Amino acid sequence: MLLASASEKAPPHTGGLLALIGGTPGLLLVAGLGILLLLFLIIKLRVQPFVALLGVSIAVGLAAGLSVTELFGTVQKSEAVSLIEDGMGGILGHVAIIIGLGTMLGAILEVSGGAEALSGRLLALFGEKRAPLAMGLTGLIFGIPVFFDVGIFVLAPIVYAAAKRSGKSIILYSMPLLAGLSMTHAFLPPHPGPVAAAGLLKVDLGWVILMGIVTGIPAVLAAWGYSAWIGNRLFVEVPHDMVEAAEEAKAAVAAEQKAAGVAAERPVSLTVVLGIIGTPLVLILLATFSSIALDPSTLRSVIEFFGHPFVALTIALLLAYWLLGLRRGWSRQSLETVSTSSLKPIGNILLVVGAGGVFGAVLDGSGVAQALSDTFGDAGLPVIVLSYLLSLVLRVAQGSATVAIVTTAGIVAPLLSAGDYSQPHIALVIMAISAGSIFASHVNDGGFWIVSKYFGISERDTLKSWTVLESVLSVAGFAVAAVISPFV
């Protein structure tokens, strides 16, 4: 029954491996070899993930029997649809704008001193004894608009100061901070992972935000618990060379700000920082719930307009320009400089996400995805469990969370489209994929080395602290998503 079903649904391609094996077995073999080839290129040959994903997509398409015209189109675009162009353009049209706006927003918050205002207020509020919790909340809040590695760069000096003042292990202060940064990076927009998965699986971003909060908060609480446990058992001194480097970097940034006309003398209001970070989240959530609670009307249209991710993030960015920039003495030139420089690091991310869209389009167009869908469906494994396990295996094998997310989303997309799944349920599947993508960060992950070097932790102790912390965050987030999924 499985062979007949998959063969009927798959396109009648006769080339590639299908000509030798045929039907579902051939499609499954193509999928398996494609994933192995992807891992081999990234792990062994160190091929750039964008190139690896694009090359594997082409190889899978040809092996599954797609023609060159189907893959690439023709000179006269009207004659054929290019799966590669449609896959790339379809996902980037949604993702690139959100990531770009979010990145610029994070840069303004970073350069303006928003992180220092946030951490300083929280440290004063919680006191010396609860400084690790203050670090965790700082990472959790500031991590919403700021990339993980940027958050470490900006907030590490604050961790150094807290650990040096207390005389306790730097792990006690760094791990809660890292847990907060990692949770927001994995589970919440506008970060690339959840945004890319939402685009590939066609989920309203409001549901992704809501489910990210619902699953992420318990997960980060579990991670904070482990942080307290390991921080009191594993002593690591403050890295004096990194403290000196941080002070030099801070002085260099201050000089650059002065040269660019950025006035940093006036302190940043914590209320302003929280308001700017919370504005797009609230607007997007209001738009999501208005489509459920309100009948079509002018009011609903207005709410949905302002709550569209493009509009909501633009409003937040303009607020940041005014409240953190122009009102505090920044020049228009300095705003443009900070915004433009912040976009330089995201080129690689967008290309990888786009190549993931190509991979998903090729899997769908060739019938490989449908064969995988039928096979996994007959296996009886819940799609949320399958999504987590696939993402986890890909993450541990090759190290990149983004590659794990976009590859997994492409594989499970037909499973979701074939079933009668609600938007909240698919959003929970995205949380499972995101949770799997952060499991067991180890030596093949750039984040592992950033944590190790920035906080002066040996590789062995980084495995005991950071790697386990990420695994706790991953398992806890998935567990919450899996428990909630039957009810939505």
CA distance 48 to 88: 17
Q: What is the pLDDT of residue 91?
A: 87
Q: Is the pLDDT of residue 8 over 50?
A: no
**Mean pLDDT score, 245-255:** 62
Q: What is the pLDDT of residue 291?
A: 85
Q: Give mean pLDDT, residues 119-130.
A: 88
Residue 254's identity, in one-letter code, is: A
pLDDT digits (tens, 9 = 90+) for 383-397: 999 999 999 999 999
Flag whether 316 is in a domain. yes
Supply the mean pLDDT for the chain: 87
Can you give the pLDDT at residue 9?
Answer: 42
Least confident of 80-84, 188-192, 474-478: 80-84
pLDDT confidence tier of residue 486, bands split at 50, 70 and 90: very high
pLDDT at 5: 37
Sign of CA dihedral 273, 274, 279, 284: positive
Greater model confidence, 212 or 248: 212
With a cut of 60, say whether residue 126 has pLDDT above it: yes
446-475 per-position pLDDT tens digit: 899 999 988 999 999 999 999 999 999 999
Q: Is 23 left (phi over 0), alpha (psi -120 to 50) or beta?
A: left
Expressed as residue numbers, the domain containing 104 is: 77-488
Residue 482 belongs to some domain of the structure = yes
Q: What is the DSSP letter of 464?
A: I
Kindly tell me if the per-residue pLDDT of 3 is higher than 50: no
336, two tokens: 């443009």
Nearest Cα to 2, choosing from 296, 374, 342, 323? 374
Q: Which of 273, 137, 154, 277 is nearest to 209 (CA)?
A: 277
Please check the confidence at residue 423 and state whether its pLDDT lies above 50.
Answer: yes
Considering only residues 43 and 211, tell me which one the structure prediction assigns the higher pLDDT. Answer: 211
Which comes out higher in pLDDT, residue 270 or 321? 321
Q: What percent of the chain has pLDDT over 90?
A: 53
Is 80 exceeded by the pLDDT of residue 424? yes
Q: What is the pLDDT of residue 243?
A: 67
Confidence at 6, pLDDT banded by 50, 70, 90: very low
d(CA 167, CA 131): 13
Q: In this structure, is residue 68 part of a structural domain?
A: no
* CA 166 – CA 156 distance, rounded (Å): 16
Residue 28 falls inside a structural domain: no
Q: What is the pLDDT of residue 263?
A: 52
The token duo for 72 is 């690439």
Of 11, 41, 33, which is closest to residue 355 (Cα–Cα)?
41
For 144, residues 6+ apart whose C-beta sits below 8 A from its C-beta are: 184, 188, 277, 281
- Tell whether the model's pLDDT for residue 147 goes beyond 70: yes
Residue 116 lies in a domain: yes
The confidence score (pLDDT) of residue 477 equals: 98
Please state the separation of Cα 202 from the chain's center in Å: 16
* Residues 192, 84 contacting (CB under 8 angstroms): no
Distance in angstroms (rounded) separating the CA atoms of residues 115 and 246: 15
Domain count within the chain: 1
Rounded percentage of the chain residues whose pLDDT exceeds 70: 88
Per-residue pLDDT, 301? 95
Condensed to tens digits (0 to 9), the pLDDT of residues 431-451 reads 999 999 999 999 889 899 999
DSSP string, 116-143: HHHHHHHHHHHTTTTHHHHHHHHHHHHT
pLDDT reading at 257 higher than 70:
no
